Structure 1
Amino acid sequence: MKAPGTTTRLSVQKTYKLYVGGKFPRSESGRVYEVTDSRGAKGSGGGQDGGAWLANAPLASRKDARDAVVAARKAVAGWSGATAYNRGQVLYRVAEMLEGRREQFAREVADAEGLSKAKSAAVVDAAVDRWVWYAGWTDKIAQVVGGANPVAGPYFNLSTPEPTGVVAVLAPQDSSFLGLVSVLAPVIATGNTAVVVAAERAPLPALSLGEVLATSDVPGGVVNLLSGRTAEIATPLAAHQDVNGIDLTGAGPELAAELEAAAADNLKRVRRPALGEDWTADPGTSRLTAWLETKTVWHPIGV
């Protein structure tokens, strides 16, 4: 018998949704797919390899990808037009919010990557530190890659970096949170907006990141998060004429080659996947400079 004064509660399962334009829509197709814990790691879509069920994630469609690009394009002017110092403050606020939800992310990372409680907590700590690190670069990268150029004549010749625009990001498949932060943060730190395709088998940390972004100071549309089949979502993004760059980190060799060919149609900037990338290593500035264009201005020297 039930003890006096006790009640039986129904379990409240978390509903995961896409994050597009600052809102949380379901996939326009209404489709979902099962996400299982790390015991089901061999399958690309989860659910069929014996792992314990974790959640139903939205299965984004081509229409969702196009909607995400529209939202990202609308956000470009405001985000790129903000001061670098302000962008740094906004990104630091995201780190504060991540720190406040540390236990949730540690649990999701442990399920996604088969890590112990201590190791998953260390991964989350590293991801928060990585976010803070990129936040600190927002108002410094221009001094590293820009500057005054020596020219013959009575002119100032100044080169300054500017954002590329809308960048599609295929998040790494092997690092659901630290890898995700490592590829996303440099894109928005430099003033670009992003359409992110989460790790196909382990999308939950990415979808939870959308909840953090929505409650921080990041304007809607600056980051848009999609979950589903990587190839299905990435194909329209690579061919989209309003996408200015694509990070192929989360694509396999065959898919990466197809996407790179599609991206050439409008001369997108492409960052090819690297084999065996160590997400715990010092990231350097290469991902920051990958999404910057250089503008050079000539100005006559006043007499």
Structure 2
Amino acid sequence: MSEPARLAVRKTYKLFIGGAFPRSESGRSYPVNDAKGNFLANAAKASRKDARDAVVAAHKAFSGWSRATAYNRGQILYRIAEMLEGRRAQFVDEVKATGLSRTAASTHVDAAIDRWVWYAGWSDKITSIYGAANPVAGPYFNLSTPEPTGVVAVVAPPADPLLGLVSVIAPVIVTGNTCVVVAAEQAPLPAITLAEVLATSDLPGGVVNILTGLQSELSPWLASHMDVNAIDLTGITDPDLALTCEKEATANLKRVRRPSTPDWTADPGTDRLTSFLEVKTVWHPMGV
């Protein structure tokens, strides 16, 4: 008598908020399929309440993270790269499920790991590059230095669920901001696995919070939230949704980075590093 066929355990992934993995308060989830339509897992469908909780967590974490030394932030980003390297095979499988060949997926994952290292190296250099001692007409020292903006909402790019995701998160947090990320709606698994890496790294809880679910439901809510200081709309592909988010962001004069489709494999430059920085200028009298 043959043994009955085994029923596979269908995994339902959770959200990543405040360093923990809560279920969506709505109890909703949605199926995630590969490029051929085969079922992979269920992902939580975050609600507005989940988005609010994520903003609270990011806001709470901002004080400690923004005051950490640049050297320490760089160490933590490098540690994240080390841990991604250790789970490289899993990331390759998840990226491959989006329709890439194994070779292309491997290249994609390697680039994402290298991108973490690249941004880690900027942690203690960005102030030197974009800060300045300004010449003024008077007996004063006039010094300008960049500071983090605060809580940044990020809509991750759908076409590059890992390299694109890393490329929008890393520059936000390495400069001292905290963030709430809306993962790629149709390919959220790399973001969820990244959350598992972050949870076991040295990154303080709340610095990165990851929501899975409907972009159209979460993005306007984050854009209108008064405790969100800036929003990156890179991953929004619907022009009407992007316009709605831009309008909502005017309520508290958020910094807005508009939707775009960059070549994530190209040299990222420093543009994203400075997108969510403010410049503080201090005047100090010279001694006689």
Distance 2:266 2:198 in 1: 25
Give runs of aligned pairs for residues 1-303 of structure 1, distance below 5 A.
11-39=8-36, 51-112=37-98, 114-251=99-236, 252-274=238-260, 276-303=261-288
* Structure 2 residues not aligned, in runs of 5+: none
Backbone CA RMSD of aligned residues: 1.5
Per-residue deviation, 1:280: 0.4
8 Å contact kept, 2:25–2:49: yes
Per-residue deviation, 1:14: 3.6
Percent of aligned positions that are identical: 69
Per-residue deviation, 1:147: 1.2
Distance 2:85 2:287 in 1: 51
Distance 1:263 1:233 in 2: 13
After superposition, give the CA deviation of every residue in 1:228-269 in whole Å (9 maximum; x if it has no partner): 000101111000000000000111211111100000110000
8 Å contact kept, 2:222–2:228: yes
8 Å contact kept, 2:183–2:212: yes
* Structure 1 residues not aligned, in runs of 5+: 40-50
After superposition, give the CA deviation of every residue in 1:92-146 in whole Å (9 maximum; x if it has no partner): 000000000000000000102x011111011000000011100110110111110
8 Å contact kept, 2:155–2:181: yes
Amino acid of the residue matched to residue 180 of structure 1? L
Distance 1:287 1:14 in 2: 35
Give the SS at the match of 1:242: coil
Distance 1:125 1:12 in 2: 30
After superposition, give the CA deviation of every residue in 1:156-214 in whole Å (9 maximum; x if it has no partner): 00000000000000000111000000011000011000000000110110011110000
Amino acid of the residue matched to residue 16 of structure 2? Y
Per-residue deviation, 1:10: 5.8
Per-residue deviation, 1:9: 6.7
TM-score normalized with structure 1 length: 0.92
Distance 1:262 1:10 in 2: 46
Paired residue for 1:47? none
Amino acid of the residue matched to residue 264 of structure 1? T
How many residues matched? 287
Amino acid of the residue matched to residue 51 of structure 2? A
Distance 1:222 1:37 in 2: 30
Change (3 A) 1:197 1:19: same
Give the SS at the match of 1:38: coil
Distance 2:69 2:146 in 1: 13
Give the SS at the match of 1:225: strand
